[in-house]
Chain A
């Protein structure tokens, strides 16, 4: 199944793969990019709040959803970081999880910057 996901690259965002998968569907890509830019900070805030409240079940659930969203954009770095965070949460290592969450926030900030640029390029074309 991993070969379908096709995340062989490293880095913030595999634009080439994203463009290939959305070939001819720029309007749809722009729509999902805009949703991502709007909802990613909300999701991170939610996960941080759940961690502070010690609600690990909620962190696992939202972490799972967030991983699916990141994979949609072939965001390898953030996806890997989130997997590490979920593992830390699974073994109950709160200190490690907090560090990883801060790093994830940084990864997602960079990802959003790339997505905004991509959105601007798509807007020019469509």
Chain B
């Protein structure tokens, strides 16, 4: 996971970067609020951010507010670092959009634990986003199936009439049977999809891609 360290003090910056690298994080750093803001606007910006309160050009409080105002779905976890220790400062940082507040100098064990909290938070956030997205896709699939159901019923009736009208030895018989089978299969799939309430997914052929296993999902026994 990537972490962005925003700190103008070289001593603290080197120390934080050293610790984070030791713990296996990929670390980026910025020595001013303005440079950090440029980095945070990139699509591949680190989402876990340690930032100092006092920064040149754009301070930590303004940076938190700006990130929250413009994050637009790309959720960041912001940990404010400062030598300030009073309750008013803590409240100001949290109200500006910081998720956590850590006194300097950082105790390595405490820093590591707080970073871990941030990582868990972002993981849950990602899972929630994924579920929301998937639910949206399923809802859309349900609506499409609902729209397809009626024309498919029409096709089915038509094919059944054709099948009853032609003899067993008719050269079109095999094709009509195939169309009939296919139509029935499509009707079954659309009905299952419309009644899915909880889904199960399976690996698809391509790398890392997963698809809904319609037959194994809840509600598919319609």
Q: Pick from A25-33, A45-53, A97-105, A117-125 the stretch touching chain B.
A: A25-33
CB pair B10–A72 under 8 Å, yes or no, is no
CB pair A2–B85 under 8 Å, yes or no, is yes
* Cβ contact of B15, chosen from A1, A4, A28, A65, cutoff 8 A: A28
Q: Which residue of A lies closest to B9 (CB)?
A: A65
Interface residues of chain A: helix, strand, loop or mixed (majority):
helix
Question: At the interface, yes or no: B62 with Cβ under 8 Å from chain A?
Answer: no
CB pair B11–A35 under 8 Å, yes or no, is yes
Q: Pick from B104-112, B141-149, B192-200 the stretch touching chain A.
A: B104-112
Question: At the interface, yes or no: A54 with Cβ under 8 Å from chain B?
Answer: no
Give Cα A4–Cα B108 distance, bound, in whole angstroms.
Answer: 10
Question: At the interface, yes or no: B19 with Cβ under 8 Å from chain A?
Answer: yes
Can you report 9 A-B residue pairs in the complex whose CB atoms are below 8 A from each other? A1-B103, A5-B105, A28-B18, A31-B18, A32-B15, A35-B10, A64-B54, A68-B105, A72-B11
- Other than the known A64-B83, A67-B83, A72-B105, what 13 A-B pairs have Cβ atoms closer than 8 Å? A2-B103, A4-B110, A5-B103, A5-B105, A25-B19, A25-B22, A28-B22, A32-B14, A39-B10, A65-B8, A65-B54, A68-B104, A72-B104
Interface, chain A (partner B; CB < 8 A) = 1-2, 4-6, 21, 25, 28, 31-32, 35-36, 39, 61, 64-65, 67-69, 71-72, 74
Interface, chain B (partner A; CB < 8 A) = 8-12, 14-15, 18-19, 22, 54, 83, 85, 103-105, 107-108, 110
